[in-house]
Structure 1
């Protein structure tokens, strides 16, 4: 094998190194990694200045000549669905959704999730982590269908258990939090399982 070919292989393997999202075992390509084609299931996001980005399962792409390059999520842009794997963090009254070191916040006015800066740690402030229900689409459901199913199952589980994980403390008394959270997770899992998902 020639030195040039070996160098190309090493460079390719280096670019293929993936960053792991803590706790989920899901891997994202590093910023700067180039691809010839992007996934068919994607969303086109247009920035205020006209720049186009492509968003697919938590990965952001930007055009680069005839190819596409993975980029950091642009602050301020909106996406219609969250990545399939994320961690939710309460920081004060605000719930953040974190995937691949990118922070998203739900905006009712836009009915979408906005990419935001990480919350600043100040004296007396604290963050709490909520491990969400993770689901795998056994029937090849699209990202949009997954988001729809997750939301509808969340709404059903919330109504059934009177526990809402999008609210501080679940919206229940402190002495009910643990039991209600467990009830909510069982209801959510049952709903998603019935719709063709493997739930963890």
Structure 2
């Protein structure tokens, strides 16, 4: 009977460790004051709840990544009017440099569309990085709160 209880306690600890490990880096909790596996399970559950309240982050249910609305684009992925503005600039330069406004307009339109696509890709990448940093910050705050709670209850957390 004692072996069965011990096995359930270890199973609960392993599940808790797996749960905590999914947040970011795995933390290990040692019952420094000789707490029983049942008491440790209870304390870890209560500390999880407290850490979620303190950090506003639940690793079991992380907030969805809020994507900013994409900027208005054409079918080719450029800002509306980018090609027209580029064509106008290119026509002026083409006329001045080579007496060929048409070739300048075509080159300007292509360059402006390419630049517009690169800007949209860079903005999307920056938004993705910001969302990832926000997720990591929430997970770190949760881990810090959880560790503080467990250490306050006599556990060593590493």
The TM-score, its normalising length taken from structure 2, stands at 0.48
Larger helix share, 1 or 2:
2
Rg larger for:
2
Higher strand share: 1
